[in-house]
Each structure stands twice: as structure tokens, then as C-alpha cells.
Amino acid sequence: MSARLLDGIASAEAIRDELRAEIGRLLAAGRRPGLGVLLVGDDVASAVYVRNKMKACEELGIHHETLGLPASATSAQVLEQVRSLNQRSDIHGILVQLPLPDQIDASQVLDLVDPRKDVDGFHPENVGLLVQKRPRFVACTPAGVMELLARSGVELAGCRAVVVGRSDIVGKPMALLLLHAHATVTVCHSRTRDLAAVCREADLLVAAIGRPGFVGREHVKPGAVVVDVGINRIEDPELARRLLDPGRLAAFERRGQALVGDVCLPEVRQIASAVTPVPGGVGPLTIALLLRNTVRAAATA
């Protein structure tokens, strides 16, 4: 058996098509959605993520601005930029690119973002609304997972779901969304005893732990749906030989690096019924949901 690959690129493009019509209506009413991004420091990965988000905004006609601060910026300087974005009528969504430098209190920064502009869904008010099943904005990656599952015809009501990872960004909101969809949810983490055995109980297994290829054959029940949220850059040839198919392995040998998820795809694809690839799975949905949140923020401003 070879698992069906859930196509995040196609689902993300479908969402963008839907947003084009909505943006057209807003433009006709004289309101152009606007996204402000705060980028602190010179982290290479963060800069790449921001460029990808800005390119996506450009393609849809969303106004976008990136405010950059040096890695030496103080908390006061970062907070002042957030206050400025909060007050601007042409900026409907605010995204603080994480991680922030160590001297910055990330919680203080995220708490200051106007919850009506919190398109990342990290503000305590928006988290609380999600808990109560009254979501305003939901963290983009878990919301993207839910879109991908729905558009791929995966039935959640009554299923046993296991989420590996308990971060505020993915694991916790993912568990809440699945619970609201009537799944029975278990959240696993570093202290979970016999993790593989717990994972094997899942009809739906979501891996979000940031460890390349951690989820293998021993974690997956035959026929389960496996969602890989991880994005890890690897440079180890031995690890690459275990995680990459021949085509991607050849590319790795040319470039010396590759992006992989938390799931060992060659192993898991042999026993799961469906699995998300990395890249091309959840990642495109994260950006699509950021765009959707920004458009919704503009529509309700």
C-alpha cells in the first residue's frame, strides 16, 4: 500500500482563488486589505518566511509593509512599532515574525497587538475565543491543517486524533480545533510514556515536534491519516538517505541540504492511508490562512 499524498499546494491555490473574489469586493468598496510585518534581527529563515508571505500578498493585491529592526533592538523599540501598526487604519493585520531576539519579551509584544489585527491568532483574547468555540482568528498552521483535511475529504467526527507536540503555535490550537470537529483528542509531548504505542491508536496523527523524521513506521496504525507539520533543514547525508526518495536525494547531493518534516515519509507512506509531504503539504496552507485572516480583518474593520 502507498498512501495518498494530500496536496497542500492545490488546496492553498483554491483558497487564494476564493480570496481574490473577496478582495475584489473590498477594493470596489474602497478598502484594500493591508498587512504589516515586524521583523526583528537578521535570522535567515525568518527573512525567507517574510519574503514568501510578502510575495503572496503581492500576488493577491494585498497592501503589505515590512518593518525591520536590528537584532540589538530593545523591547521598548519593538513595542513602539507594534503601537504604531495598531493605530494605522491602512493596516488591518499585524504579524510579528518569530522568533524574536532573546532580549525581547515575546509575550509582552504579542499581547500588545490589537486582537482585531492579530492575524496570527496568538493574542490571549483570540486564544480564549478559540477555546470557547467562538474563534475570531486562529493560528494559521493548525487552521491550515483543518482546511487541508476538509478539502481532502477526511472525516473527523468520531475519529481518534493524536497530536504530537504541545506548542502554543501549533499543538494546543490544533488539539482544540480537532476537539471542536468532534474528534477524540490526545496530546503527546516529551513526557508521554510509550509514545509510539499512543500514536498507534490514532486514526489521525499530527506530528508537530520539530525533529526530522522522528515519526516512523512504529508510530502509525495501518490506514491512519498522517499530517506532518514539521519543517526541518537537514545537511546530514545519512539522515537524507533515510528520509528522502531517490529524486530528492539526488537534489540533496547537489545542494548539500534539504527540507524534511517530522515524519519519515518513505516508511510511513507504506502503512498510512494518506500523508502530507514536506514540502508541499501544510506549509502552503499556513500562508493561505494568513492571507485569509488579513482579508477577514479588513472586512470587519
- pLDDT per residue as tens digits for the range 191-244: 999 999 999 999 999 999 999 999 999 999 999 999 999 999 999 999 999 999
Question: How does strand 204-207 pair with strand 160-164?
Answer: parallel
Fold: same for 30-118 and 140-284: yes
- pTM of the shown model: 0.95
Q: What CATH number should be reported for the domain whose range is 30-118?
A: 3.40.50.10860
d(CA 269, CA 139): 28
Of the listed 81, 97, 114, 172, which one is catalytic? Answer: 97
Domain ranges of the chain: 30-118, 140-284
Predicted local distance difference test score (pLDDT) of residue 141: 97
53 Cβ neighbours under 8 A, 6+ residues apart: 35, 37, 64, 95, 287, 290
Active site (annotated) includes residue 97: yes
Catalytic-labelled residue, pool 53, 114, 118, 172 = 53
Give, rounded to a whole angstrom, the gap between the first and last alpha carbons of the chain. 49
pLDDT at 119 over 70: yes
Q: What's the pLDDT at 47?
A: 87
Share of the chain above pLDDT 70, in %: 100
The predicted structure's pLDDT at residue 45: 82
- The whole-number pLDDT of residue 44 equals 82
**Predicted local confidence at residue 14, as pLDDT:** 97
pLDDT at 1 over 80: no
Q: Give every strand in the sheet of 63-69, ordered side by side.
A: 63-69, 34-40, 93-96
Catalytic residue among 81, 117, 118, 120: 120
State pLDDT tens for residues 39-85: 999 888 888 889 999 999 999 999 999 999 999 999 999 999 999 99
What's the mean per-residue pLDDT of the chain?
A: 96
Q: What is the pLDDT of residue 33?
A: 98
| 245 assigned to active site | no
- Counting residues of the chain whose pLDDT is more than 90, the rounded percentage is 96
Q: How far is CA 91 from CA 64, 107, 267, in A?
A: 8, 21, 45
| CA 290 – CA 296 distance, rounded (Å) | 10
Measured CA to CA, the distance from residue 163 to residue 68 in angstroms comes to: 34
Q: What is the pLDDT of residue 48?
A: 86
Average pLDDT for 152-170: 97
CATH of 140-284, one of 3.40.30.10, 3.40.50.720, 3.40.50.10140, 3.40.390.10: 3.40.50.720
Q: Is 172 a catalytic residue?
A: no
